[in-house]
Structure 1
């Protein structure tokens, strides 16, 4: 019976999503399924631990989330959401105390920021974000064991620059901003990401600020501004950084001066190219800002670089489970649809293609 309700929820959720003129938010709690036209209403009414499936469309999302919830959008890449439209939210949602173990996938957050912020001096543990588009991801004191992967992010920062966001895993993301792409992290693992280092105003400030006791491995780091500093002394500096097996492509970059300011930072087995630009290493790179039309695979001979710590390709297409182009959510997802306009012999012609990426 439980399996039947789950299948029914998926069918109704995605069937409605195919019709771009209709919006629906489906809440599944155990064997119970509820439908709402607005995301905020669904959040307020969803029982603890519910799955919330958000169809294509634009949804207001300014509210506090104070319970464990699991959000599934239909995706943010335009070429993988042709049939449904992207799941887009406006506003600034806040995950606060009580939202431990929540997960978020397949949403384009177009508001100013997505906040994970304890408001009463408590803690928030084990929040996970995958395959989303986020402008600014704001964290604060008390956030621990946070993970973000396979997402497109302008920057991550600790809201008060106090270096107390503890134990983050940041893996296989594309970061856009070149100034303070990461800020205020302690005991973080930053692995197999691409940092585009885009600085529209030519700001030479540090790409990473107030990062301590953390490990950077297997990342591709670029910038449109020559001699961009990697680690800045701003906001207390960066200390005890292990910078290992990264691929740095920044014009005129000098590892002796532009690598790190701080104490006890170690550079091991990195490759620095100061005579190349991002356009030289990526298959297609026509816009220095993030662009869905760019192709962030490495050109030859750089795609043969296997000096990473795990023996796979440097950047987002490494690891045992590489970044998935299109970032299709893990739940079944309509990629194409053809719905007849009239009944023929009492039947309506429907032809759909469904795709899911489980890893």
Structure 2
């Protein structure tokens, strides 16, 4: 009878684990699991990796330690059991410098409550960074989809930032930075000493693509044909290889606007590559972090396989497998 009760207990616990969206925390001294993102961040030691499976998670406290949060991706894929979604804002406080956030859909914003240094946000879909909070410095935004704006500073500009291979409506308030291989649906502004290179600008309502800026290097960007003159009200110190396009139908293989849609293909048409060879280095499919051809960025999706309860040692064994997203 005792053996039967023990067996039923193990089966119940195993079933409970199987039904939960378990979060793995891995680090130099940490190797455990949590049931909520808040619990995982509380458990994590500085520098630990937190692996989120597909599903919905929330976290309301300010993040005050260096953590690396990795999800399955911001869009369903072949090797994903549902995308990872974090509901609400992720608020960054003192101590969050050096953190990494990768592979999830954030329903709201990243909010810096103090000057934040050396963070990396990769392969995330988010509203962005709102204005009037604090500065973000020496940080990377790579393969991201921003649904609203990236305000990287306030009246004091952020500095040393890189926005690379991302889809962004508006970027502002940074200096000594680089904006490269992005699709920018609206404009950029309030910049100083920034290199703007190999981007595609989609704004057609007017031609003010760059405003209230200084010391801007504007090189090899694709902009509307009607904006080849008059696209900036200030700040250009170096300009080269402007490439004009007529309509969006003459630019991309398959897209009806400049915002993210998993059904769009933002590869450039052969016709524009034939007439403007320099266009080959423009957009999200070129540069140092190209998106996968005809697809989303490659995302290190996390599969939790071969997990089991070791009842004798009272531990739960969790193997984490990393696989690439294929579509």
Q: CA RMSD for the aligned pairs?
A: 2.7
- CA distance in 2 between counterparts of 1:269 and 1:219 reads 12
Residue 250 of structure 2 corresponds to residue 254 of structure 1:
no
Residue 118 of structure 2 corresponds to residue 135 of structure 1:
no
1:66-122 CA-to-partner distances (Å, cap 9, x unmatched) read 1111111000122346x41000011111112211111111010012x111331xxxx
Residue 212 of structure 2 corresponds to residue 212 of structure 1:
no
- CA distance in 2 between counterparts of 1:79 and 1:278 reads 27
Question: Could you tell me which residue of structure 2 aligns to residue 73 of structure 1?
Answer: 71
Q: 1:354 to 1:72 in 2, by over 3 A?
A: closer
Residue 271 of structure 2 corresponds to residue 301 of structure 1:
yes
Q: How does 1:131-210 map to 2 (within 5 A)?
A: 131-138=123-130, 140-154=133-147, 155-158=149-152, 160=154, 162-175=155-168, 177=169, 181-197=170-186, 207-210=187-190
- CA distance in 2 between counterparts of 1:171 and 1:286 reads 22
Q: Which runs of 5+ in 2 are unaligned?
A: 1-14, 306-320
> 1:134 offset after TM fit, Å?
1.0
Provide the TM-score with structure 2 as the length reference.
0.80
- CA distance in 2 between counterparts of 1:45 and 1:228 reads 50
Question: Could you tell me which residue of structure 2 aligns to residue 105 of structure 1?
Answer: 102
Aligned length: 290
Provide the TM-score with structure 1 as the length reference.
0.73
The partner residue of 1:94 within 87, 91, 95 is: 91
> 1:143 offset after TM fit, Å?
2.6
- CA distance in 2 between counterparts of 1:133 and 1:328 reads 14
> 1:288 offset after TM fit, Å?
5.2
The partner residue of 2:206 within 202, 221, 227 is: 227
Question: Could you tell me which residue of structure 2 aligns to residue 243 of structure 1?
Answer: 218
Q: Quick check: 164-173 or 313-322, which moved more?
A: 313-322
Question: Could you tell me which residue of structure 2 aligns to residue 355 of structure 1?
Answer: 323
Q: 1:354 to 1:39 in 2, by over 3 A?
A: closer
Q: Quick check: 287-296 or 84-93, which moved more?
A: 287-296
Secondary structure, in 3 states, of the residue corresponding to 2:33? strand
> 1:132 offset after TM fit, Å?
0.7
- CA distance in 1 between counterparts of 2:271 and 2:46 reads 50
Question: Could you tell me which residue of structure 1 aligns to residue 11 of structure 2?
Answer: none
1:36-62 CA-to-partner distances (Å, cap 9, x unmatched) read 111112112211111000011011122
> 1:241 offset after TM fit, Å?
0.8
The partner residue of 2:291 within 319, 323, 341 is: 323
Secondary structure, in 3 states, of the residue corresponding to 1:98? coil
Residues 218 and 247, structure 1, Cα contact 8 Å, conserved in 2: yes
Secondary structure, in 3 states, of the residue corresponding to 1:48? coil
- CA distance in 2 between counterparts of 1:35 and 1:138 reads 32
Residues 74 and 328, structure 1, Cα contact 8 Å, conserved in 2: no
Structure 1 or 2: more strand by fraction: 2
Q: Which runs of 5+ in 1 are unaligned?
A: 1-15, 198-206, 338-352
Question: Could you tell me which residue of structure 2 aligns to residue 62 of structure 1?
Answer: 60
Residues 75 and 327, structure 1, Cα contact 8 Å, conserved in 2: no
- CA distance in 2 between counterparts of 1:23 and 1:49 reads 22
> 1:243 offset after TM fit, Å?
0.5
> 1:31 offset after TM fit, Å?
4.6
Residues 163 and 210, structure 1, Cα contact 8 Å, conserved in 2: no
Secondary structure, in 3 states, of the residue corresponding to 1:89? strand
Q: 1:321 to 1:167 in 2, by over 3 A?
A: closer
Q: 1:48 to 1:131 in 2, by over 3 A?
A: same
